[in-house]
A and B are shown apart, each in its own frame.
Chain A
C-alpha cells in the first residue's frame, strides 16, 4: 500500500488543485461575514486530503469554490484535473431513476454514448459492490447503498474525460448521516476505491478519527474566518497524532467561547 502511494505522489510534480490566498465574503457592508480568509492549499494528483474543522470554518464553502459551484471573493484557484466531482452529505440521487441510470446521468451530461454509458455505469456499480442493485430505485436501497451509488456517480463524473487527466473527488461529510457500522464499512470501501482508481480526494469532515483513518494529510481549519491552522502527515497515523489533532481542534473551538 505504501509503495503505490509513493509512486503516485512523486510521479507528477504538478498539483491537482492549488489554492492561493482564497478569500470568501458573504454579504456586503457591516453585515458582511468573512467565511474564508487567505486559504492556501495544494493537493497532489492522487492524494487523499482531509479538511478538518468545527462548524462555521467554511469547509463546505471551500469545497464549493473548488467545485466551481461558488466563486471566491479574492485569491487564485487552479484546478489541473478533469471536472471535479462532488459528493454531498445526502446521496441526492434522482428518485425517479434506477441506480444505474443515476450513475449514467453523470456520463450523459458529458456526452458519452448510450452503450459506453451503460458499460461504464455497471462497471462502477460493480466497484462499489452494487452490481446486483443496478435496477433498483433509491427508495428500494438502504442509506449506505444510496451513498455508494452516489460515490459511483461521483466517480463516473470525475473519470469521464478520455484524455486521462487526473481525477478529483470532493466529498462534503459524505458519511455524517450514516450509522456507525455503515460508516465504518463505507470508510474502508472508500479507501479501497481510492486505491484502485487513483483519484485525488478532498474530504471534508468534523470527525478527527475519520480524518486520520482516511487521509494521507489532515488540514485543520479555524472557524470564522476559516484559515489553515496546521497540517499533519497522517500516513503512519499513531494515537499521538490523533491526540495532538484533537487538542488543536479543541483549542480552535474554545477560542470562540468568549
Chain B
C-alpha cells in the first residue's frame, strides 16, 4: 500500500463530505402556510362568491338554491343546540369502528393474498372486482339479511373498505424490492420476524395508501347506508339528517348536511392521513410528492 493509512482516512472523510446529499433548507412556517394554506382558502371564498351571486340573480327558486347565509344559520342552529355534535358522533363513531374492524379483517387477508399463491389465484381478482362495486348495492341485501339494524350499516361499511385496504397492502407488498427479503433471510430472519421487520415496514407506503382509500370508502358507504336504512332505533347520523332534510323539503338542512359530510372527510384526511403519509414518505427520502 503506497499511501499511509491516515492520508486514506482523510480522503475517505473528504469523500463523505463531498458525496453525502445536501439537506434541503426548510422554509419558515409562515411561508409554508402562505404556499399551502392560502390557495384553498381563496378557492373557498371564490366558491362562496359565485354561490352568493347565483342566489342573488334569482335564477332558481329559494327551495332549490338557498342563500349562503341561510345555510350558515342552519349550521349555527344545529351546532348551538348541540344537535350537530350528536349527529356527528353517531356517524363518526360508526365510521371509526367500522374502519377499525375493516383494518383488522383486511390486514391478514391482504398478507394471505400477497404471500400465498393459491389464495391470490382464488380471490385476488374477486377482491379487485369488489372494489369497483358501489357498496350501496349491498344495502338492499343487508336489510333483508340483518333488518334495519346497526349490523346492516357495519356490513355495508366493511364491504366498502375491506377490499381497498387489502388491495393496498397487496400492492405495497408486490412493490417491495426482492433484495430486501433476501437480506432478511441472509441475516437469519424467520418468516414471522421477516414479516414484522421487513415486509410490513417495506409495504407501509402502499398499505397507508390503502388505508386512506379504505377510510374514504367506509365513510362513503356509511353515508349511503344511513341515507337508505333509516329507522328510529338507529338514531340520527349525518345520512339520516340529510334524508330528513330531503323529506322536509328543507334545502338549508340538505346543504348543511353535505357540508358536514365533506368537513369530516377533509378533516380526517388533513389531520390524520396527510401527516402520517408525509412522515412515512419523508423517512424514506421520498419527498417529491410533498
Contacts and interface: CB of A to CB of B under 8 A. Distances in A.
Given A105-B197, A138-B285, A129 B187 contact: no
Chain B contact residues: over half helix, strand or loop, or mixed? Answer: helix
Contact of A140 (B13, B21, B180, B189): B21
Contacts of A129: 9, 12-13
A181 B186 contact: no
Contact of A139 (B3, B5, B180, B284): B284
Contacts of A185: 8, 11-12, 15
A199 interface: no
Q: How large is the interface on A (under 10, 10 to 19, 20 to 34, 35 or more residues)?
A: 35 or more
Interface string A150-181: 00010001000000000000000000000001
A172 to B, nearest CB: 10
B interface residue count range (under 10 / 10 to 19 / 20 to 34 / 35 or more) = 35 or more
Nearest to B190: A109
A193 interface: no
A200 to B, nearest CB: 16
A90 interface: yes
Contacts of A139: 21, 284-285
B134 to A, nearest CB: 36
Interface stretch (B124-132, B143-151, B198-206, B262-270): B198-206
A73 interface: no
B20 A95 contact: no
Given A109-B189, A145-B16, A145-B20, A88 B179 contact: yes
Contacts of B21: 139-142
Interface of A: 67, 69, 83, 85-86, 88, 90, 92, 94-97, 105-106, 108-110, 129, 133, 137-145, 153, 157, 181-182, 185, 188-189, 192
7 contacts: A83-B188, A95-B283, A138-B285, A139-B284, A140-B21, A157-B187, A188-B3
Interface of B: 1, 3, 5, 8-9, 11-13, 15-16, 19-21, 23, 177, 179-180, 182-190, 193, 197-198, 201-202, 204, 280, 283-285
B204 to A, nearest CB: 7
A92 B185 contact: no
A138 B189 CA distance: 21
8 nearest A-B pairs in the assembled complex, by CB-CB distance: A139-B285, A142-B19, A86-B186, A185-B12, A95-B284, A92-B183, A109-B189, A92-B179
